Amino acid sequence: MCTIVDLIEKNCLQFADKAALRHKIAGVWQDISYETLRITSDRIAAGLLNYGFKTGDHAALLAPSSPRWVFAYIGILKAGGIVIPIDKELKSNELRHILTDCEAQVLFTESHYFVTALEIANGLPSLCRIVTLNSSLQPENGDPCTVKTLEGTLDEWQNLETQAEMPAENGTGTRNLAKQVNYLLKKEGSFTSVAKEISGRTPPTGAICKGLAAQIRLLTFEELLHETHLSPVQRNPHDTAVILYTSGTTGKSKGAMLSHANIVSNIHGATARFDLDETIHTLSFLPINHVFEQVCGILAPLSLGGTVSFCESLKKLGDNLTEVKPTFFLGVPAVYRMILDRVMKNIGSRILSRFLFSFPFTRPLIRARIRRTFGSGTIFISGGAALDPAIAKGLEKLGLAIYQGYGITETSPIISAECPQHKRLGTVGRVLPGVEVKIDHPNEEMVGEILVKGPNVIQGYYRNPQATAEVLEDGWYHTGDLGRLNTDGFLSICGRVKNLIVTPNGKNVYPEEVENELLKSPYIAEVIVYGHKVDPATEEIHATIYPNLEALDIYGRKQGKSSMTVADVEFVLRTEVFAACEELAVYKRVRKFSIREDEFPKTTTRKIKRFEVEANKGRQ
């Protein structure tokens, strides 16, 4: 077994001139070669070591997906460090918790998150340095497009230097000129001037900024880069590579420690399952701090000599999909539901398309056009949450091959996955080679908690032996998920152990099954099904619904109503709930429901934070 660095470094040498990363600058796709990836990450590692970074030190990443995020990630590993990717959507109190708990010595961030980082910097004794992934801090009146273009030009010049094997000192003048132009257009040239800008609005932050700059604790990306070549730091495959803080669907986040071997074993398992090679091309749009995107969407293609294109934004996902035509695409169920709805709406809005799609013998014409649009050989992978079988059927009807996988942060992440040779609707495929799964204390339906053992299972939770002991027992990781393992090796997920509802007659009800049935209604946008205690020993099945307001408005207009009253909405939803429950066994049916006025709180992977909802119900 090798390290993550070994895996990628090999391809940087073998595919030196090939595009490793791609992103858009001023509306144009720009390529970054494997050679540039290798040299830039080397220079980041050298810069970290030059500033006193030591083997085993921690460096956090708080920024959106970008080539520089990847440069920094690999550079930290090359310096012998441990990477702590952080969710950029976190509030300051949770950010403070993670940075304090992980004891990060260095924080890589961007100007958008800079003020938040500065506000908590002085309360973090371990934090020695903050590095901005922007070329410099962008003021509020700066033109983002111009700034991005200039930063891209600088990156492209560094790419050309690399390809031409130009001595570093020969390119110094051009790089300095680019920085000066950047300075003039931004009206900013140093952290001192930035401090003045900030201090005009928030004096405490400005003072902190000046203080950090004076202590050389504040660096731009270019200032960190070091020209001197330093010998790579040797790491053992079983050394910790990353600490990933769980998304917090069940409460306070914990730091899951994954070793190089954990992640590399999972990359090998995934590439073998889908028969992937250097032709892989992914479109990265999921949160890069999340293990699913990080390992399967970034590290896996780079470990094969493939290419990663960064999506401009979620709004541009459709456009970028048709431009890039990725061969391997990672998504979550909410995205696939959106894709299905938009494609079907597009077909329905055109008379000829609607006509052709309605007949089995002409439907292939529409399917062929859809495949050409998205990419004829694209493998679509769904993860992060359970995929409604109806969505999978709908996409397959459109000619798009979608495969469901199952995994969690603590298993690096993949446990099982469907593939073209082994696919069964309603399951998450077969367990990866080398990974063991067993069902703990199965009931009469052969459903029990899923336990996992293998080279992909976490080392433990950082600085939390109690939490580690609760989930790891003799090498078996307790997932907290309920499932069934069929005789032919296909795994089915039934729900969460903590969410299980036991009826008065002893029947088990899995809320996720009921929720999936309710979500088939076009008038229900989100729902949580739970057990409501009617007495100390009895639970009733209740639901809380966030309605699809747009669909209800359209329904109301068709009924000749200028607006829908509360009573109207309740009537429609009651009808929908009743119809959905007709498809379920009597003991699984919803007895009562309430209506929410706003969306449920969610994690960045769009999972509803059930613990927050349940806590709020407890206070009501």
CA-to-CA distance for 347 and 78, rounded, in angstroms?
A: 50
Cα separations in angstroms, 73 against 63, 83, 171, 291, 445: 11, 7, 25, 13, 45
Name 350's bridge partners. none
pLDDT of amino acid 549? 93
Side-chain-side CA neighbours of 10 within 13 Å: the count stands at 10
CA-to-CA distance for 409 and 457, rounded, in angstroms?
A: 9
Domain 332-454+476-494 has CATH 3.30.470.10: no
CA-to-CA distance for 513 and 182, rounded, in angstroms?
A: 55
CA-to-CA distance for 302 and 4, rounded, in angstroms?
A: 10
- Cα angle for residues 180, 182, 187 (degrees, 5° grid): 95
Cα distance between the two ends of the chain: 53
Helix count and strand count (H, E) for the chain:
23, 27
- Cα angle for residues 194, 133, 159 (degrees, 5° grid): 125
Q: At 75, which amino acid appears?
A: G
Domain segments of the chain as ranges: 4-226+236-273, 332-454+476-494, 500-619
pLDDT of amino acid 423? 94
CA-to-CA distance for 469 and 476, rounded, in angstroms?
A: 11
Matching fold, domains 4-226+236-273 and 500-619: no
pLDDT of amino acid 183? 42
Assigned superfamily of 500-619? ANL, C-terminal domain (3.30.300.30)
Residue pair 26/149 in contact by the 8 Å Cβ criterion: yes
CA-to-CA distance for 620 and 615, rounded, in angstroms?
A: 9
For the chain, list residues with pLDDT below 50. 137-144, 173, 176-177, 179-204, 249, 619
CA-to-CA distance for 391 and 163, rounded, in angstroms?
A: 46
- Cα angle for residues 144, 117, 138 (degrees, 5° grid): 20
What's phi and psi for 392, nearest 5 deg?
Answer: -60, -45
CA-to-CA distance for 69 and 327, rounded, in angstroms?
A: 23
CA-to-CA distance for 452 and 433, rounded, in angstroms?
A: 12
Q: Per the omega criterion (within 30 degrees of 0), is the bond before 413 cis?
A: yes
Exposed/middle/buried for residue 491 (C-beta within 10 Å: 0-12, 13-18, 19+): buried
Residue pair 163/33 in contact by the 8 Å Cβ criterion: yes
Name 472's bridge partners. 477
> How is the chain split among helix, strand and coil, in percent rounded to 5?
45, 20, 35
Residues 6+ away with beta carbon under 8 Å from 74: 4, 5, 8, 37, 41, 44
Residues 6+ away with beta carbon under 8 Å from 91: none
Collapsed DSSP state (helix, strand, coil) of residue 271: helix
Residue pair 105/80 in contact by the 8 Å Cβ criterion: no
CA-to-CA distance for 297 and 310, rounded, in angstroms?
A: 10
CA-to-CA distance for 115 and 109, rounded, in angstroms?
A: 10
Q: What is the DSSP letter of 363?
A: H
Contacts 24+ apart (CB under 8 A), 335-340: 336/380, 336/382, 336/387, 336/391, 336/395, 336/402, 337/388, 337/391, 339/395, 340/391, 340/394, 340/395, 340/398
Strands 538-547 and 592-595: parallel
pLDDT of amino acid 92? 83
Domain 4-226+236-273 class, CATH top level = alpha beta
Cα separations in angstroms, 4 against 93, 286, 302, 327, 455: 32, 21, 10, 23, 14
Q: Which of 411, 422, 476, 467 is nearest to 448 (CA)?
A: 476
Output the pTM of the full model. Answer: 0.81
Place of tokens 């954990």: 262
Cα separations in angstroms, 535 against 70, 167, 508, 531, 538: 54, 78, 18, 11, 5
- Cα angle for residues 292, 298, 300 (degrees, 5° grid): 85
Residue pair 245/100 in contact by the 8 Å Cβ criterion: no
pLDDT of amino acid 1? 80
pLDDT of amino acid 184? 40
pLDDT of amino acid 5? 97
